């Protein structure tokens, strides 16, 4: 995990922490982690090797230096990782590039750059094709985070389905305290200000609700929200907030709205369900797979549908709360780790 930057990777970091927790309780895998200096101590109870020649960091220059260190110090890094049965990189980019003799597993969360190329610059598309796609084709096995993501990986990259393993993400339910009582008059959307998160259509929906349900406001959290424009008066932009405040917003919100145009998985709906918060979510990407029948689903391209979904979810709070608690139980980090173990064994078998 040499590209890991704790506190700066959002859902990727949540996945890494959950996977490590799951692997720590799995009898069939003895996992050792390799991290840069900046990520020292991340691995919890698992054996951790700090690769001091890689400093790590969140800035663009830090990331370039990390890549350069992975290339120029590859020989020493690979030697340090010798003796393991499988090489697994959970953040798409193989760093260091493993020797051909070692079975490799790559995590590829999605191929959004293929499905929504207009949302990526030419440089970003080229980067993903060079680093993500090339590593995926060379890997002995691929782990992804939903059946939807597996289908798109197989279709776009022409990869055999048998070497792609689905490992659903999960929620640590013990971190969330459900609120079964009164909820406040706001709708909650935790998401970075990326184009596919669809804030513009959500703003149009809030303009409709300003007339129809004037007591409702929208609260936004996440990075990059300062770049949003044309924000309606009934929208509060909080930006990045501490995890404790995020938990409080889930407990207090009238409902979670999730109008994303694309998700490889999508954790916030499950986090909301664990908090007893009703969910109104998009029909795009993996969200129907994640939400099941425990949410109101809507067309994310229609502000009217988004607004109606919010109203419907609030009206069905008791029903959706009960279904949500059951839906969350289907996703555990132990199941996620088991899918990884299957991928590791498959990769190893390709070199037997």
What's the CATH number where 192 sits? 3.40.50.2000
Total structural domains within the chain: 2
Confidence label for 1 from pLDDT (cuts 50, 70 and 90): very high
Q: Residue 1: inside a domain, yes or no?
A: no
Stated as kind and residue range, the H or E segment containing 143 is strand 141-144
Question: What are the start-end ranges of the H helices in the chain?
Answer: 11-24, 60-72, 74-80, 112-115, 122-127, 134-138, 147-157, 199-212, 243-252, 268-274, 287-291, 303-315, 317-328, 333-349
Residues 146 and 178 in one domain: no
Report how far apart, in Å, the C-alpha atoms of 154 and of each of 133, 245, 255 are. 11, 39, 35
Confidence label for 20 from pLDDT (cuts 50, 70 and 90): very high
Query: Mean pLDDT over residues 65-82, rounded?
Result: 92
Identify whether 153 is preceded by a cis peptide bond (ω within 30 of 0): no
Residue 288 and residue 285: Cα distance in Å, rounded? 8
Residues 120 and 184 in one domain: no
Range of 259's domain? Answer: 173-328
Query: Mean pLDDT over residues 71-95, rounded?
Result: 91
Q: What percent of the chain has pLDDT over 70?
A: 100
Q: What is the pLDDT of residue 131?
A: 87
Residues 137 and 105 in one domain: yes
Residues 295 and 162 in one domain: no
Q: What is the pLDDT of residue 236?
A: 98
Q: What is the pLDDT of residue 82?
A: 86
What are the pLDDT digits (tens) for 42-57? Answer: 998 899 999 999 999 8
Residues 198 and 341 in one domain: no
């Amino acid at each position: 995990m040499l590209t890991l930057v704790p506190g700066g990777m959002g859902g990727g970091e949540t996945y890494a922490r959950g996977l490590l927790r799951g692997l720590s309780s799995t009898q069939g895998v003895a996992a050792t982690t390799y991290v840069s200096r900046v990520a020292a101590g991340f691995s919890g109870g698992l054996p951790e090797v700090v690769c001091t020649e890689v400093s790590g960091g969140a800035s663009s220059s830090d990331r370039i230096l990390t890549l350069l260190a992975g290339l120029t110090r590859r020989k020493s890094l690979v030697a340090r990782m010798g003796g393991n049965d499988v090489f697994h990189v959970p953040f798409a980019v193989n760093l260091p590039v493993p020797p051909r003799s070692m079975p490799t597993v790559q995590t590829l969360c999605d191929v959004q750059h293929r499905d929504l190329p207009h949302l990526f610059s030419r440089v970003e598309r080229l980067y993903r094709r060079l680093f993500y796609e090339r590593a995926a084709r060379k890997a002995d096995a691929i782990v992804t985070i939903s059946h939807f993501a597996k289908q798109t990986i197989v279709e776009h990259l022409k990869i055999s389905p048998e070497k792609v393993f689905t490992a659903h993400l999960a929620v640590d339910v013990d971190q969330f305290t459900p609120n079964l009582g009164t909820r406040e008059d706001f709708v909650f959307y935790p998401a970075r200000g990326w184009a596919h998160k669809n804030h513009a259509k959500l703003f149009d929906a809030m303009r409709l609700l300003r007339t129809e349900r004037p007591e409702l406001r929208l609260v936004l959290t996440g990075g990059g929200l300062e770049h949003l424009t044309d924000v309606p008066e009934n929208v509060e932009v909080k930006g990045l907030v501490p995890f404790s405040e995020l938990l409080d917003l889930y407990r207090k919100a009238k409902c979670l709205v999730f109008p994303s145009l694309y998700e490889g998985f999508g954790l916030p709906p499950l986090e909301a369900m664990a908090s007893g918060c009703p969910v109104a979510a998009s029909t795009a990407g993996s969200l129907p797979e994640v939400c099941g029948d425990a949410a109101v689903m809507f067309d994310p391209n229609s502000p009217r549908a988004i607004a109606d979904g919010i109203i419907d979810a609030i009206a069905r709070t008791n029903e959706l709360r009960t279904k949500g608690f059951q839906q969350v139980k289907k996703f555990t980090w132990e199941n996620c780790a088991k899918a990884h173990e299957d991928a590791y064994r498959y990769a190893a078998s390709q070199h037997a």
